[in-house]
A and B are shown apart, each in its own frame.
Chain A
Amino acid sequence: MKAKIRKIITFIEETRTEMGKSVNPPTRRAAAAAVIENPFAGKYVEDLSELMEIGEELGTLLTERAVAALGIQGPAAESYGKAAAVGENGELEHAAAILHPKLGTPVRKVLGKGAALIPSSKKRGGPGVTLDIPLGHKDAAFVRSHFDGMEIRVNDAPRANEILVAIAVTDSGRPLPRVGGLTKDQIKGEDGLR
């Protein structure tokens, strides 16, 4: 493995009620995050392909962890998202190199499908920085009940020469969705949008 991983953290959230109203079945989301060494910390490097390959590795590893944390099969996942926080000696472009070129294909392989764009966010920050991972339906980005986000943070990461990379997967949308729009039973799932 190219990625030098210091730690891996998984988060599982299960919401059972909202405003006293039962959520049945409970909505569940999981995020798996890896803290890795940033091979390009502290210097400008033109060719970021090493980080792209790390992104590919983490796409498999973190998606498998998140799905396992939910205790479901990959194809049962409903929405997904990804995010990265680069430590202070790195560039935002390092997060981009991990997240965008090669990470998506293995995510989709684990989940069976995934016609939609994987929503993403990135930032630079220090240990304990908050990462809001955007979430969208994996086969149709316009499914309104699945527009969501999951906040994670790791108190001791990213250090200056590290990158925190996270993938979130759910088996459901928001707890009590009722703002209309495209619903998941209306998905065509061809263009990734509807």
Chain B
Amino acid sequence: MPEVHVRKRVTIVEEIFHEGGPTAEKPLRRAAALIVIHNPFAGKYVPEIASFMEDLKPLGLEMAKSLVVALGGDPKFIEGYGKGAIVGQAGELEHGALWHVPGGYAMREILGDAKAIVASTKKVGTLGTRLDVPITHINASYVRSHFDAMEVGIADAPRADEILLVLAMTTGPRIHARVGGLKASEIKGEDGLR
């Protein structure tokens, strides 16, 4: 299978102190790792693409590790995660789907025992296209305080024959979370949902 060619890497870290309400004792931190790779399937229909997922695994691990570092260095700090992809216009949405397995695998590998499905989104786009990466609690998808999203994008990517891959992690609930629902303290953590 094709090698993974990386053109550039972008890391975005947000540290949120308040959003008009009281300043949090512990600011919420969110980080996204973005990687721009060449799309080996651009410009043509290729029936067999699935084995490229295996090739993407080391990249996913590198990105997941960099997020843990960006958020303080300890996987224990991570409470939410999400992933996404923007496929350049010479590619297919299906090429973005190649990121599901390696992206999810990488974050679970780094975070240990994360149980919840990794929320995701994908689209075909162009240079500067923005992606709202959905974020949910790592152990229980229904934790309402951790439903979040991070908007990301790169001014010069993805080019037509590129894919922009994203992983995102957060250190806690929305900064002024107060709409009820399942709390992180109530998680059973068995099924990944509650």
Q: Which residues of A contact B19 (CB under 8 A)?
A: 6
Given contacts A13-B10, A15-B7, A17-B5, are A151 and B155 in contact (CB under 8 A)? yes
Interface assignment of A155: CB less than 8 Å from any CB of chain B: yes
In the complex, B50 has a CB within 8 A of chain A:
no
Contact A11 B10 (CB under 8 A): yes
The yes or no answer to A76 lying at the interface (CB within 8 A) is: no
Would you call B10 and A6 a contact (CB within 8 A)? no
Question: Within 8 Å of chain A (Cβ to Cβ): is B183?
Answer: no
Mask of B39-78 contacts with A, CB within 8 angstroms, 1/0: 0000000000000000000000000000000000000000
- B109 CB–A CB distance under 8 Å: no
Q: Does A10 sit at the interface, judged by CB under 8 A?
A: yes
Contact of A7 with B15 in the complex, beta carbons under 8 Å: yes
Main secondary structure of the interface of A (DSSP, over half): strand
Q: Among B6, B10, B130, which residue has its beta carbon within 8 angstroms of that of A12?
A: B10
Measured between beta carbons, the chain A residues less than 8 angstroms from B16 are 6-7
Q: How far is the CA of A20 from the CA of B151 in the complex (A)?
A: 28
Question: Is A16 close to B, CB under 8 A?
Answer: yes
| Interface presence of B14 (CB below 8 A) | yes
Report chain A residues within 8 Å CB of B26.
none
Q: Taking A17-B5, A17-B6, A18-B7 as contacts, is the C-beta distance between A11 and B15 under 8 angstroms?
A: no
Interchain CB contact under 8 A, B12 and A11 = yes
Name the contact of A13 in the complex, choosing from B8, B13, B130 (C-beta under 8 A): B8
Instruction: Give chain B's interface residue range (CB within 8 Å of chain A).
Output: 20 to 34
Distance (whole angstroms) from the CB of B162 to the closest CB of chain A = 11
Name the A residues within 8 Å of B17 (CB-CB).
5-8
Which residue in chain B gives the minimum CB-CB distance to A19?
B7
A49-76 to B contact mask, C-beta < 8 Å, 1/0 = 0000000000000000000010000000
Looking at the complex, which one of A9, A26, A128, A153 makes contact with B14 (CB distance below 8 Å)? A9
Interface residues of A in 1-36 (CB under 8 A from B): 5-18, 20, 26
B188 interface hit (Cβ, 8 Å): no
Give every chain B residue within 8 A of A151 (Cβ-Cβ): 155
Collect the chain B residues with CB atoms within 8 Å of residue A17's CB. Answer: 5-8
By the criterion CB–CB under 8 Å, are B12 and A15 in contact? Answer: no
Given the complex, which residues of A lie within 8 Å of B121, measured CB to CB?
Answer: none
A10-B9 contact, Cβ under 8 Å, with A151-B155, A155-B130, A155-B151: no
Assuming A5-B17, A6-B17, A155-B151, is B9 touching A16 (CB within 8 A)?
yes
- Which A residue sits closest to B154, measured CB to CB? A13
Rounded to whole Å, the gap between the CB of B155 and the closest CB of chain A is 4
**A residues near B153, Cβ cutoff 8 Å:** 153
Instruction: Give CA–CA (A153, B129) in the complex, Å.
Output: 12
CB <8 Å contact, B11 and A11: yes
Give the chain A neighbours of B6 by CB distance below 8 A. 16-17
CB distance from B42 to the nearest CB of A (A): 13
A interface residues with partner B (beta carbon < 8 Å) = 5-18, 20, 26, 69, 128, 130, 151, 153-155
Please, could you name 10 A-B residue pairs with CB atoms under 8 Å apart, sorted by A? Answer: A10-B12, A13-B8, A13-B9, A13-B10, A13-B154, A14-B10, A15-B8, A16-B8, A17-B8, A155-B130
Supply 13 further A-B pairs (C-beta < 8 A) apart from A7-B14, A11-B11, A13-B10.
A5-B17, A6-B16, A9-B12, A11-B10, A13-B154, A14-B9, A17-B5, A17-B6, A17-B7, A18-B7, A69-B11, A130-B155, A154-B14
Shortest 5 CB-CB distances between A and B: which pairs?
A: A155-B151, A151-B155, A12-B11, A15-B8, A7-B16
